[in-house]
Amino acid sequence: MDEANEQREQRLKKLEELRQAGIEPFGQRFEATDHAAEILGCYRETSKEDLDAHPVSFVIAGRIVALRDFGKAAFAHLQDSSGKIQVYFRKDLIAEHYAIVKKLDIGDIVGIKGRLFRTRTQELTLEVEDFTLLTKSLRPLPEKWHGLKDIETRYRQRYVDLIVNPEVRRTFETRSAVMKALRDFFEAHGFIEVETPMMHQIPGGATARPFKTHHNALDLDLYLRIAPELYLKRLLVGGYERIYELNKNFRNEGISTKHNPEFTMLEFYMAYKDYTFLMEFTEEIFSFIANKTLGTLNVPYGDTVIDLTPPWKRLPMLDALREKGLPDDAVADFDKALAWARERNIEIEKGASHARVLDEIFKEIVEPGLVQPTFIIDYPVELSPLAKRKRDNPALVERFELFIASREIANAFSELNDPIDQEERFLRQVEAREQGDEEAQHMDEDFVRALQYGMPPAAGEGIGIDRLVMLLTNCFSIRDVILFPQLKPEQ
CA 401 vs CA 80, 125, 181, 395, 462: distances in Å: 42, 53, 22, 17, 10
DSSP state of 44: T
CB of 51 closer than 8 Å to CB of 117: yes
CB of 419 closer than 8 Å to CB of 446: no
Residues 103 and 89: their CA atoms lie apart, in Å, by 13
CA 457 vs CA 271, 336, 389: distances in Å: 6, 37, 12
Question: What average pLDDT does range 330-344 have in this prediction?
Answer: 95
Residues 4 and 75: their CA atoms lie apart, in Å, by 23
164-197: b or e for each residue (b if 16 or more CB lie within 10 Å)? beeebeebbebbebbbebbeebbeeeebeebebe
Angle between helices 275-293 and 166-188 (to 10 degrees): 140
Q: Return all residues near 3 (Cβ < 8 A) that are at least 6 apart.
A: none
pLDDT one-digit tens code per residue, 364-401: 999 999 999 999 999 999 899 889 999 999 999 999 99
pLDDT one-digit tens code per residue, 175-193: 999 999 999 999 999 999 9
Query: 192-193 and 199-200 as β-strands: parallel, antiparallel, unpaired?
Result: unpaired
Question: What average pLDDT does range 199-222 have in this prediction?
Answer: 92
pLDDT band at 363 (very low <50, low <70, confident <90, very high): very high
pLDDT one-digit tens code per residue, 267-298: 999 999 999 999 999 999 999 999 999 999 99
Residue 81 pLDDT: 95
pLDDT one-digit tens code per residue, 7-50: 999 999 999 999 999 999 999 999 999 999 999 999 999 999 99
Cis peptide before 311 (omega within 30 of 0): yes
Alpha helices per DSSP H over 238-314: 275-293
Q: What DSSP assignment string belongs to 100-164?
A: HHTT--TT-EEEEEEEEEE-TT--EEEEEEEEEEEE---SPPPS---SGGGHHHHHHTHHHHHHH
**Bridge partners, residue 389, by sequence:** 397
Residue 438 pLDDT: 72
Whether the predicted pLDDT of 1 surpasses 70: no
Q: What DSSP assignment string belongs to 208-245?
A: SPPPEEEETTTTEEEEE-S-SHHHHHHHHHTT-SEEEE
CA-closest candidate to residue 179, choices 268, 292, 277: 292
Q: Supply the mean pLDDT for the chain.
A: 94
Q: Return all residues near 134 (Cβ < 8 A) that are at least 6 apart.
A: 26, 27, 30, 61, 109, 110, 111
Residue 434 pLDDT: 78
Q: Return all residues near 166 (Cβ < 8 A) that are at least 6 apart.
A: 83
Residues 340 and 322: their CA atoms lie apart, in Å, by 13
Question: What average pLDDT does range 331-336 have in this prediction?
Answer: 95
Residues 441 and 203: their CA atoms lie apart, in Å, by 7
pLDDT band at 207 (very low <50, low <70, confident <90, very high): confident
Q: 147: alpha, beta or left, given left = phi > 0 and alpha = psi -120 to 50?
A: left
What number of other Cβ atoms are within 10 A of residue 307's Cβ? 13
Question: What average pLDDT does range 119-130 have in this prediction?
Answer: 96
CA-closest candidate to residue 66, choices 118, 117, 147, 125: 125
Residue 112 pLDDT: 97
Whether the predicted pLDDT of 154 surpasses 50: yes
What backbone phi and psi angles, to 5 degrees, belong to 118?
Answer: -110, 135
pLDDT band at 144 (very low <50, low <70, confident <90, very high): low
Residue 148 pLDDT: 40
Residue 448 pLDDT: 95
Residue 340 exposure: Cα atoms within 13 Å on the Cβ side? 24
Residue 429 pLDDT: 84
**56-65, 440-449, 478-487: segment of lowest average pLDDT:** 440-449
Residue 255 pLDDT: 86
Residues 409 and 285: their CA atoms lie apart, in Å, by 13
Whether the predicted pLDDT of 143 surpasses 80: no
DSSP state of 479: G
pLDDT band at 147 (very low <50, low <70, confident <90, very high): very low
pLDDT one-digit tens code per residue, 428-443: 888 887 777 777 788 8
Residues 408 and 67: their CA atoms lie apart, in Å, by 47
DSSP state of 201: S
Q: Return the H-helix or E-strand segment holding 8.
A: helix 3-20
